[in-house]
A and B are shown apart, each in its own frame.
Chain A
Amino acid sequence: MMIKLRNIEKSIKQGAGQLFLLRRIDLDIESGDFVTIMGPSGAGKSTLLAILGMLDAGWTGEYEFLGEKVHELPQKKRAEIAKRNVGFVFQQYHLLDTLTVAENLEVPLSYRDMKSAERQSLVADTLDRFGIVGKKDLYPSQLSGGQQQLVGVARAVIASPKLLLADEPTGNLHSAQGEEIMKLFKQLNQQGATIVQVTHSDANAAFGNRIVRLRDGWIEKT
């Protein structure tokens, strides 16, 4: 078991009371799963993704990740686990505008204890693997949306994460580009990566093997 969530709740203060974003979430994810989280806007999809990726600390309940009891760990330790195991793909790509494609790929590596030569070689491999060697010196503004997301995915997987989290990864792409990205995810999943994606698209959901539906913070059906 890679992920085990029990009774996860997340709320924020609103006026005198609390507004619950997630209620009593129980969820298990096995290694090699390709899980799709779906639901209407405001259902808590991205919040759940942020908790899975350990970007969000303000929740209650139990969260086990690869046997580690995340809920018992301090934030620093959680960040360490996330850095080692989790990669992110964002809807708005979130590439750094002032860095070239190659430099954007290097960003996650630069935060890990890795020598420069090693980083360069990994960047070169990844550029090759994703077929973007010709774009390595271009800046994000010089790429199409699809190309930017391709770089975004490449950046997410460059440090070989065990878990890939994707928040509406094709939301800003037209359908052909979106399909290419989804095929890429499928391929990564077949190579062993565990993937959790948030999407509104049934077509995208079809690439996964499980769907989790959220509504008003509650899981509808597993």
Chain B
Amino acid sequence: MDGLRQDLKFALRMMRKTPSVTAVAVLTLAISIGATTSIFSAVSSMLLRPLPFPHPDELVALQDTEPQTSPHGFSWPEFTDIRSQVPDLARFAAYRQETSNLTGRGEPRVIINTLVTEGFFELLGVAPVAGRFFTPEEHVPNAAPAVVVSEGFWHDVLGGVAPGSTITLDGLPYLLAGVAPQPVSTTLILSDVFSTLERKVPWTDRGQHYLETVGRLKAGVTLTRAKADLAIAMPRIAAAAKANHLAEMQYLQDFVYGVARPLLLLLLAAVGLVLLIASVNLASVVLSRATGRVREFAVRRAMGASRAMLARQLIVENAVVGLAGGVFGVLLALWGRDVVVRIWPASLPKLYDAPLDWRVLAFAAVVSIGTGIGIGLLPALQATRSDVHTELREGAGASPRGRARSVLVVLQSALAVVLLVSAVLVLRSLTRMIDRGPGFHARSVLSVRVPLPPQKYAEKQRISFFRDLVERVSALPGVRAAGVVSRVPLGGGSTDGNYSVVGRPPLDEEHQRYADKRVASPGYFAAMQIPIVRGRPYAEGDPGREIVINEKLARDEFPGEDPIGRQIAQGSDPGHDEAVVVGVAADVKQRRLNEEPAREIYFPMSSWPLSEVDLVVRTDGDPMALLPAVKAQIALLDPSQPVTKVRTIEQVLERNAGPQRLAAQLLSAFAAAALLLAALGIYGVVSYAVGRREREIGVRMALGAQASDVLRMVLREGLRLSLVGAVAGIATALALARLLAGFLYGVSTMDPATYVGVAGVLLAAAAAATFFPARRATRVDPAIALRAE
């Protein structure tokens, strides 16, 4: 303990003695530890911090795993089957998000109304902030309408009005039963109010998968066991229902935040690499300093210090530097985590805050001390291995540490290549995504969602409302085209459904064909500038017997044939609900920019009367400038009708590219930092080598070497190291790039141009970093060099 105190005292003195080196080391560590801690705080907030509900490890989410589709929600019959037949669930509840029009509280507004089944709040284990949750009587068909509101909505919109009063949703009075606490409406579901789902039952259609679910496992039941039991129960349930749907179960936390995991882990890995490169750089500096301290270590050895004592001293010295870097790093992270929260992509689960809690602080402490010890380890090993007798005889600087430094430079270069390759691949994907485009022209298009309450508007009235609206808006000055669609592409929401081609045999469950189904008015194609490549759009007044398919569906179903005039039925039975193909539209990316377009069917409004649509309006100028005129037209049709989701299609596109853009931006910044650090490392090692070889260079020049010969010799050394680093980096990047696959689009993880380009950039940086010490070497005076002996 006493020895450790001595080492600490000496470490602090060493820091004071070399303030500039210490400051650079602490600053480098502070920036890299700060960046790492900031990203980690987001990782901790989403992936490590348990959900803020009692016994969060018992909370699970279930999803339907229908063959050929990605996991999705359950239908009501499936939900009730699981609730009654899966053994390990103590409670099981479903919810579904809708929108409602709130009136009677100032300007009408659209709010998020989440319909929940009985026991939803009790399952989560929360207590109401005020009032009560729903009673069993409110969870029956046609029950008296009641709402539980979120805490934020209660304060901000209702002004904290007492439970027991009423609010008007979609023209109906709802009893304000109580107030749900914060985490329900922020962590789990973004919602303004909650109402009971069973009021709207019967939802008997097994094909309508619109219920998300949440369950609580019985105490003592592990997820593994529950999954095993579910795997046994589901085929029985499916067989009884003559279906082949199965189900999967995961922790609720993974369900809520799992989609953000790849981006978080990618960023953490990237920033971790920067920290590693910075540490390698500092290890190189420490190694140089250790070279200057060879005599000190030898004297200490001669005075009786053991190798372990010396190693401990060096490790303590660097751990103190690491800790100082960590302290400043945490201070920087206080700012950095706010930046992360601010730039977090809107299309991913919301990152409310990224607190520097004990997890984050423990992470920062371990990283800081670990980094400090790490950078001191190599010099410590070297110092303890040196030969005391030789060091004492030959004095400071005689022992070569060149090889270790060269290894560090190769390591730095290799790590920089890994980061550069990742950054370039993601950047090129982003460019491809934007260049290849989504299949429509996003510029100058306004999108506004108009939800019509079914209680107020019958089916025919809704269709006529939307037709009138399109007609009125199309006539506005500055409008080039307008239309409505069930959901704008890339705007979220899934509208998958199965279909079959008339004239072909019915398909069994396993061979179902699926397409993205969208309801759109004919003007929609013009407003989005989606070309009709064959045939025509359906007519405005079409009674629902005409459809438009996309090129992908035409290629898949009618290869080498003319699809116009062919009939397609909705569902697996070709004799049911058939419509004729009148046109083929160009492919559009409906779900994600980095996915190829799926098969698609467009229906006229009359075939599928919607209660809410996105109105899209193309103009020549700023689309947002049209908003007041569009709202005025809606108000003329119904003064109490609010609008929601006001955005430009460019914003929709931007939001969809958010995770890729954030990854590209941060990876580029990290890669630039890595390249700079690698260049500095190469500069340092070559500079050091030139200093050590001054005499040799002098002798060479005395023997007739020209300046150009010396320049070439030194440049060769610098480039040799970075070439080895580049090769090692490319090999590592090739091995790791597949981890990036989820972020890439249109670019292979093995894209040769990227690898060659990155190697070229590294070599150019290395050449620049080597040039200055090389030029210095050419100015060595042979006489002085020889005297230096």
A: residues with CB less than 8 A from B are 46-47, 50, 53, 55-56, 76, 79, 82-83, 88, 90, 92, 94-98, 107-108, 110-112, 115-116, 155, 159
Chain A residues with Cβ under 8 A from B309's Cβ?
111
Please list 25 pairs of residues, one from A and one from B, whose beta carbons are closer than 8 Å in the complex, sorted by A's number.
A46-B393, A50-B388, A53-B302, A55-B301, A56-B389, A82-B304, A83-B304, A88-B302, A90-B299, A90-B392, A94-B298, A94-B299, A96-B296, A96-B299, A97-B296, A98-B10, A98-B13, A98-B14, A98-B296, A107-B299, A108-B303, A108-B304, A111-B300, A111-B303, A111-B305
- Asked if residues A107 and B300 are in contact (CB atoms below 8 Å), the reply is yes
Q: Which residue of B lies closest to A79 (CB)?
A: B306
Which residues in chain B, 292-341, are within 8 Å of chain A measured between CB atoms?
Answer: 295-296, 298-306, 309
The 10 residue pairs across chains A and B that have the minimum distance between CB atoms: A83-B304, A111-B304, A50-B389, A108-B303, A94-B299, A55-B389, A111-B305, A55-B388, A56-B389, A88-B302
Question: Which residue on A lies nearest to B9, using beta carbons?
Answer: A103
Q: Please report the C-alpha to C-alpha distance between residue A11 and residue B389 in the assembled complex, in whole angstroms.
A: 14
Residue of A nearest to B3 (CB): A110
Q: Which of B5-47 contact A (CB under 8 A)?
A: 6, 10, 13-14, 17
Chain B, residue nearest A88 (CB) = B302
Contacts of B299 on A, CB cut-off 8 Å? 90, 94-96, 107
Contact B6 A110 (CB under 8 A): yes
Given contacts A56-B389, A98-B296, A107-B303, 6 further A-B contacts (CB under 8 A): A55-B302, A94-B298, A94-B299, A95-B299, A98-B13, A107-B300
**A53 to B299, alpha carbons, bound, how many Å?**
13
B contact face: mostly helix, strand, loop, or mixed: helix
- Closest A residue to B2 by beta carbon equals A116
In the complex, the chain B residue whose C-beta lies closest to that of A51 is: B389
Central interface residue in A55, A56, A76, A116, by most chain B CB within 10 Å = A55
B566 to chain A, nearest CB (A): 88
Question: Which of B13, B17, B309, B389 has the largest count of A CB atoms less than 10 A from its CB?
Answer: B389
What are the residues of chain A within 8 A of B301 when measuring CB–CB?
Answer: 55
- A155 pairs with B304, CB closer than 8 A: no
- When the two chains form their complex, are residues B302 and A92 in contact, meaning their CB atoms are under 8 A apart? no
Number of interface residues of B (CB under 8 A): 24
Which interface residue of B10, B298, B303, B393 has the most chain A CB atoms within 10 A? B303
Interface residue? B395 (CB, 8 A): yes
Contacts of B388 in A (CB 8 A): 50, 55
Chain A residue nearest in CB terms to B5:
A116
Report B7 CB to chain A, min CB distance, Å: 9
Cα-based distance from A112 to B301 in the complex (angstroms): 12
Q: How far is the CB of B290 from chain A (nearest CB, A)?
A: 14
Collect the chain A residues with CB atoms within 8 Å of residue B3's CB: 110
* Cα of A175 to Cα of B305 in the assembled complex, Å: 33
Residues of A within 8 A of B389 (CB): 46-47, 50, 55-56
**How far apart are the CA atoms of A55 and B300 in the complex, in Å?**
12
> Interface on B for A, CB 8 Å cutoff?
2-3, 6, 10, 13-14, 17, 295-296, 298-306, 309, 388-389, 392-393, 395
Of the listed residues B299, B304, B309, B393, the one surrounded by the most CB atoms of chain A closer than 10 A to its CB is B304
A169 to B299, CA, bound (A): 15
In angstroms, Cα B306 to Cα A78, docked, is 11
Tell me the complex Cα distance, A110–B395, Å: 23
Please measure, in the bound complex, the distance between the C-alpha atom of A122 and the C-alpha atom of B540, giving whole angstroms: 105
Say whether, besides A94-B299, A96-B296, A112 and B304 are in contact (CB < 8 Å): yes
A98 in complex: contacting residue of B17, B305, B395, CB < 8 Å: B17
- Hey, which chain B residues are within 8 Å of A50, CB to CB? 388-389
- A108 contacts which chain B residues (CB < 8 A)? 303-304
With both chains docked as a complex, state the minimum distance between the C-beta of B19 and any C-beta of chain A, in angstroms: 13
A55 to B389, CA, bound (A): 6
What residue of chain A has the Cβ atom nearest to residue B299's Cβ? A94
Q: Please, how many angstroms separate the alpha-carbon atoms of A17 and B130 in the complex? A: 93
User: In the complex, A92 Cα to B398 Cα: how many Å?
Assistant: 15
Q: Find chain B residues with CB under 8 A from A115 CB.
A: 2
**Chain B minimum-CB-distance residue to A159:** B304
CA gap between A116 and B389 in the complex, in Å? 29
For the complex, what is the distance from the CA of A53 to the CA of B392, rounded to whole Å? 13
B392 to chain A: which residues have CB within 8 Å?
55, 90, 94
A contact residues around B298 at 8 Å (CB):
94
- Measured in the bound complex, the distance between the Cα atoms of B304 and A108 in whole Å is 6
A46-B393, A50-B389, A94-B295 are contacts. A155–B2 as well, Cβ < 8 Å? no
Query: Whole-angstrom distance between the alpha carbons of A110 and B9 in the complex?
Result: 13
Alpha-carbon distance between A83 and B305 when the two chains are bound, in angstroms: 8
A209 to B185, CA, bound (A): 95
Which of chain B's residues have a CB closer than 8 A to the CB of A82?
Answer: 304
Residues of B within 8 A of A159 (CB): 304
A contact residues around B2 at 8 Å (CB):
115-116
A50 to B298, CA, bound (A): 12
Q: Which chain B residues border A79 with CB–CB below 8 Å?
A: 304, 306
Min CB gap A89→B, angstroms: 10
Most buried by B among A88, A95, A112: A88
Which B residues touch A83, using CB under 8 A?
304
With A and B bound together, what is the CA distance between A41 and B593 in angstroms? Answer: 79
**Minimum CB–CB distance for A159 against chain B, Å:** 8
Contacts of A97 in B (CB 8 A): 296
Q: Which residues of A contact B295 (CB under 8 A)?
A: 94
Taking CB atoms, residues of chain B closer than 8 Å to A56 are: 389
Q: How far is the CB of A91 from chain B (nearest CB, A)?
A: 9
Q: Measured between C-beta atoms, what is the minimum distance from B312 to chain A in Å?
A: 11
Chain A residues, Cβ within 8 Å of B6: 110
Q: Tell me the minimal C-beta distance from A127 to chain B in angstroms.
A: 17
- Kindly list chain A residues whose C-beta atoms are within 8 Å of the C-beta of B300: 96, 107, 111
User: Quick one: closest B residue to A152, CB to CB?
Assistant: B299
Query: When A55-B388, A56-B389, A92-B395 are in contact, do A111 and B296 touch as well, CB less than 8 Å?
Result: no
Q: Which residues of A contact B296 (CB under 8 A)?
A: 96-98
CA distance A29 to B395 in the complex (A): 29
Complex CA distance for A42 and B777, rounded to whole angstroms? 33
A46 to B394, CA, bound (A): 12
CA distance A97 to B299 in the complex (A): 11
Residues of A within 8 A of B14 (CB): 98
